[in-house]
Copies of this chain bind each other. A is one copy, B any other.
Amino acid sequence: MTAEGTAPPRRARDADASRKALLDAAAALFDARGYGGATVREIGERAGLDAALIARYFGSKEGLYLAVLADEERAAERGPLEPDLAALAERLLTRWDGAEAPLRRALASPAPTPPERAQLRRIVRRLTDPAKEAIGGGEDAALRAELLVALLVGVSVSRANGTLAKLAGASRAQVLRQLAPLLEALEGGEGSR
Contacts and interface: CB of A to CB of B under 8 A. Distances in A.
A178 B147 contact: yes
A167 interface: yes
A89 to B, nearest CB: 13
Interface stretch (A5-13, A45-53, A58-66, A149-157): A149-157
Given A182-B185, A190-B180, A117 B163 contact: yes
Interface stretch (A15-23, A75-83, A103-111): A103-111
A107 B5 CA distance: 25
Contact of A166 (B111, B143, B189): B143
Q: How many copies does the complex hold?
A: 2
B180 A193 contact: yes
A165 interface: yes
A93 interface: no
A93 B158 CA distance: 18
26 contacts: A32-B111, A34-B109, A34-B110, A37-B110, A37-B111, A105-B110, A106-B163, A107-B161, A108-B108, A108-B158, A109-B161, A109-B163, A110-B161, A117-B163, A124-B164, A143-B170, A143-B174, A144-B178, A146-B167, A147-B151, A149-B154, A149-B158, A178-B189, A181-B188, A184-B185, A185-B185
